[in-house]
Amino acid sequence: MDRQVIIIGSGPAGLAAAVSVRRAGIQPLILERMPSHSMKLLASGGGRCNFTNREDPESFMRKFGRNGQFMRDALRFAPREFLLDFLRSERVEPELTDDFHYFPASGKARDVANAFLHASNAEVRTGMEAVSIRISAEKVEGVTLANGEFLASKTVILAAGGTAWAGLGSEAGLDLARRAGHTIVSPLPAVAPLNLKEEWPKRLAGVTLPNAELRLKAGREPLVTQGSLLFTHDGLSGFPALDLAGEAAAQCCKHGSAELTLTVRADLCAPDWQKVLDRARQSSGSSLTRTVLSDFMPKSLAEIFTDLSCCREVRMAVLSAAARQQLIRLLGGMKLTVTSAGPMTKAMVMRGGVSLKEVDPADLSSRLVSGLYFAGEILDLAGPCGGYNMQWAFSSGFLAGYSAAIHSNSKLKGKS
């Protein structure tokens, strides 16, 4: 007996696909290799699930880089408002925090997962790993499981996610796509910590800068992020670092390293620091330079800056012009060298995946195999923190499910 639509993966993309399939009058079957469903979704946002944000569609797509325009049809089909209305219809009230990020008002990611499961009424089979998609004459025939069982179906949605997240990510979905004939863009960690060549940042492990700025050299225009930055034993974490990780990883893979500029206070540029030092020289000439800087940053970082400028124990009144200029230069933008991002086990999102050239953005169908559809992280798209990747997963899932249902129904009509 043919199952009309099989969905591989129970993450946000797979769950959204199941809802669309169900709305078309088809009972969806979800195959999940893990022992429990929706594990990435349940872990997202520290268990709270930041599922979307208020970014306008054009800016939203730009946050995904050069591949962002691929998302246009999916975002039009199931925009933010569509997702919000769906959740409300399932009695999950969205809550807007900080005037930008959306979470469930309950603070529970499980409520989001349960809403999709209820609306889809999907049959979910956990602990069932798909090892191949059977294809004949460039058409899907069904799915073979690791236990040898074969499930016949003319329509399969591959929403198995990527390799990110320790214990949750896997190559399984990418392997299925590869065996189906699709090209896989090499997976890289995105939304992950940055590892640095320089040693001095590692001396600050645990120190946080409330409002730092990072600039990553990337083509004609640098990528710029701001926010709370955390020094780690290997380099940098926090939203500014995480948001740059995908592009930094790609540059490191291609060139061996990436150039980063750190501004410890996003609200102060080099001329501002010059004024700070000028005022301190006049009003606090007897104070140590590092003591003056400690009013603007953590003491340990002030000591690093004065060490690098050879003025750790120098008082403001006798600070040399050379040391002063060096301080201003460093405070205005410290150059750092990124050696890598991740590792993948520390990444929250994967960059890379199924090549977008082989997928039709209008319906997310494979250009190579009839009856095969894709949704979510498995595709070569990765955005920053803050609900971007989750919204893409839901939007692409809704579209892929709708498209797959049309394909499945047309096959049924062809039999009658």
Extents of the domains making up the chain = 6-189+348-415, 193-341
Give me the CATH topology for the region 193-341. Helicase, Ruva Protein; domain 3 (1.10.8)
Mean pLDDT, the chain, whole residue set: 96
Tell me how far apart the alpha carbons of residues 324 and 351 are, in angstroms, rounded to a whole number. 42
- 314 backbone φψ class: left, alpha, beta (φ>0; ψ -120 to 50): beta
Q: How many residues does the chain have?
A: 416
pLDDT tens digits for range 53-112: 999 999 999 999 999 999 999 999 999 999 999 999 999 999 999 999 999 999 999 999
Mean predicted confidence (pLDDT) in 286-314: 97
Report the pLDDT value the prediction gives residue 1, as an integer from 0 to 100. Answer: 42
| Rounded Cα–Cα distance for residues 267 and 256 (Å) | 31
**Rg (alpha carbons) of the chain, rounded to whole number:** 25
Pick the CATH number of 6-189+348-415 from 3.30.9.10, 1.10.3720.10, 3.50.50.60, 3.40.309.10: 3.50.50.60
- Tell me the CA distances in angstroms from 398 to 76, 120, 202, one per residue in order: 11, 11, 44
- For residues 22 and 121, the answer to whether their CB atoms sit within 8 Å is yes
The whole-number average pLDDT for the span 362-371 is 98
Say if residues 209 and 72 touch (Cβ distance below 8 Å): no
Residue whose C-alpha is closest to residue 115's, from 82, 87, 84: 87
Q: What is the pLDDT of residues 74-91, one digit of tens each?
A: 999 999 999 999 999 999
Give CA separation, 28 vs 7, 15, 118, 135, in Å.
7, 10, 12, 20
Which residue in 358, 369, 356 sits closest to 142, CA to CA?
Answer: 369
Alpha-carbon distances of 379 from 28, 69, 144, 195, 391, rounded to whole Å:
21, 13, 22, 26, 14
Grade residue 414 by pLDDT with cuts at 50, 70 and 90: low
Q: How far apart are CA 326 and CA 267, in angstroms?
A: 19
Give residue for tokens 């997976």. Answer: 187
Contact 153, 2 (CB under 8 A): yes
Q: Taking residues 408-412, report their average pLDDT.
A: 78
Residues 292-329, buried b or exposed e (16+ Cβ, 10 A)?
Answer: bbbeebbeebbbbbbeebebeebbbeebeeebbebbbe
What DSSP character marks residue 140? E
3-state secondary structure of 157: strand
Q: Which two tokens stand for residue 180?
A: 């189906």
CB of 348 closer than 8 Å to CB of 357: no
Q: Are 40 and 13 in contact (CB under 8 A)?
A: no
DSSP string, 287-332: SBHHHHHTTTS-HHHHHHHHHHTT-TT-BGGG--HHHHHHHHHHHH
CA distance 205 to 231: 5
Neighbours of 36 (CB within 10 A): 11
194 close to 382: Cβ distance less than 8 angstroms: no
pTM for the whole thing? 0.94
- State pLDDT tens for residues 114-172: 999 999 999 999 999 999 999 999 999 999 999 999 999 999 999 999 999 989 999 99
The whole-number pLDDT of residue 218 equals: 87
List the one residue out of 93, 114, 113 whose CA is nearest residue 104: 93
Q: What is the mean pLDDT of residues 167-193?
A: 97
Check residue 27 and report its DSSP letter. Answer: -
